[in-house]
Chain A
Amino acid sequence: MHAQLEPVLTDLEQQFGASQSEFRGQARLLVAPQHILAAANALRDQHGFEMLAALSAVDYWPERTPRFHAVYEFKSLAKNLRLEVRVPLDGDDPELESITSVYPNADWHERELWDMFGLRIQNHPDLRRILMPADWTGHPLRKDYPLGYEEVQFSFNFEEIEARKPRPKE
């Protein structure tokens, strides 16, 4: 891990009670959901992370606490550092504070989190679905949302599949 990252990690640990870990030289911080906006502010203004490089989530279903991890990748160009911040979220309908006021490009990322994972983003300026149609039900990247596929037709199940195959209406 980069030596310059050490003071950033200790500072965030003290301020927000974050816990750090490391894997293959990549530093990671676990921050509680109520602190994410303040932590993003501190990262940009005090520690020089100018850029929110990426924002996504992981669903650990059937685990409930935490069911989700929101994953933020921050980048500092001046110091050439990267930092991953993870926010654990509990339950099926979790809420997450928007950080669009700090990093404007979180806008579409957070809309994607809502669309794909159903994380309700608080204080987002325009929380609509982004990748799926507006009237879509469910959140496709959740682990309890099945991956659809078409059954392969063989001679033994040909008629069964043929009978319920969707056809264009007359």
Chain B
Amino acid sequence: MSSLEQIEITTEELRHLVSPRAIEGDTILLNMGPQHPSTHGVLRLLLELDGEIVVNCIPDIGYLHTGIEKSIESKSYEKSEVMTDRLDYLNTMGNNLAYCLAVEKLVDLDVPERAQAVRVIFAELQRIASHMVWLGTHMLDLGAMSVFFYTFTQRERILDLMEMAGGQRMMTTYFRPGGLWRDVPDGWVEGVRELIDDLPRHFKEFEALISKNPIFLDRTKDIGILSAEDGLAWGVTGSTLRGSGVDYDIRKAEPYSGYERYEFDVPLATEGDVYARYWVRMKELYESVRIVHQALDKLPSGPFRSNNRKFVPPPRAELGESMEAVIHHFKLWTEGFPAPKNSVYLPVESPRGELGVLLEGDGGPKPYRCYWRTPSFVNLQVLPMLSKGHYVADLVAIIGSIDIVLGDTDR
């Protein structure tokens, strides 16, 4: 009996995806996922296996499709913001940032310096938090349990700071078009400083645990090699591409939110294997700490959001005294603000790569089209190429090294 009959898709649909040996029954077809722990979410991989060796790998995404783009198109600009948190739940502040920048560019709205600096601090803390989850789960996939607990402890401290400012651990919706929801509370600056003074010590600890571990080296060196040419052709971005030696970081290439004011390096590795991608992300952690240090030292005082009343609601205290403020408040929360009939595409550097927002207005208060160019969606496309000829256990290491988030893949 052909093993094809056990799989939902018909033989005809499969014929061009797998090798002829699968049709004859020489190789095994195996579903990995949708709920496999090492697929980092709801990802189904249809594997064609020759013994333990991957002959073909067919990713099947869409199990988590939430239709967020369509939902955003039915809400006003300000109200859509809460949807963006739910896209990539390890990079909520980064999604907020991309969306806010796109709205601000579309309607031509200035952001005060203080808001820009706080945004950078949170975006970098979020990058560290995201890399902590990546490191923990990646190591878990490779069989190291304790790193997971260590990294999650550090991540928790960052989430505490986010809760302090935004009132929520993950779905903060803290950045708003024109600035921030509210100013950072008392004690927050001290909290961040304490955290970043302490973090590098832990990063060194992780490196000491992992970097020269012989099992880890065996599992990651020369596995899943992505060449620079392939990376560019397949549109791969972020640490995954920088592990192949391509110097491309949007924070450097097209600075946004004042990144041009901070000094930091872009770590590069040339090997392009799982270990190179691990190495790049570990070095990035130190760079993020460096950026946060500079942003904290230069944190400007002043307003935390724009005072352009056509786009940003007035402070609550003004509502009791000023009729003007009441009118603006009422107009903004009932009608929203109109955006020109045109579109902008705004890319930012998320922990996973280029996170782009295509935002098109139609002259009304709702986005006519809001497309998310999510890095995981594009990066995941190289998985079949990287995994061919490797063992199933290596496939697990490769998935971890691409650092996908399925909410980011399916949108």
Contacts and interface: CB of A to CB of B under 8 A. Distances in A.
B344 A126 contact: no
Contacts of A126: 16-17
Contacts of B253: 77, 80
Contact of B342 (A23, A103, A104, A132): A23
A131 B233 contact: no
What band does the interface of chain A fall in when counting residues whose beta carbon is under 8 Å from B?
A: 20 to 34
Interface string A34-60: 000000000000000011111010110
A108 to B, nearest CB: 5
Interface string B66-78: 0101110110000
What band does the interface of chain B fall in when counting residues whose beta carbon is under 8 Å from A?
A: 35 or more
B345 interface: yes
Contacts of A131: 61-62, 65, 410-411
A51 B378 CA distance: 11
Contacts of A132: 62, 65
A87 to B, nearest CB: 14
B381 A108 contact: yes
Interface in A98-142: 103-105, 107-108, 126, 128-134, 140-141
A105 B378 CA distance: 7
B105 interface: yes
A129 B246 CA distance: 32
A54 B74 CA distance: 23
B108 A24 contact: yes
A140 B9 CA distance: 23
A9 interface: no
Given A26-B345, A107-B381, A73 B235 contact: no
Contact of B381 (A23, A105, A129, A141): A105
Contacts of B71: 147
Contact of A141 (B61, B69, B360): B69
Interface stretch (B184-192, B270-278, B303-311, B367-375): B367-375
Interface string B210-229: 00000000000000000000
Interface of A: 23-24, 26, 50-54, 56, 58-59, 71, 73, 77, 80, 82, 84, 103-105, 107-108, 126, 128-134, 140-141, 147
25 contacts: A23-B343, A23-B344, A24-B105, A24-B108, A24-B342, A26-B344, A26-B345, A51-B235, A52-B235, A53-B373, A54-B358, A58-B360, A71-B371, A73-B345, A82-B347, A105-B234, A105-B381, A126-B17, A130-B61, A131-B62, A133-B62, A134-B13, A140-B70, A141-B69, A147-B71
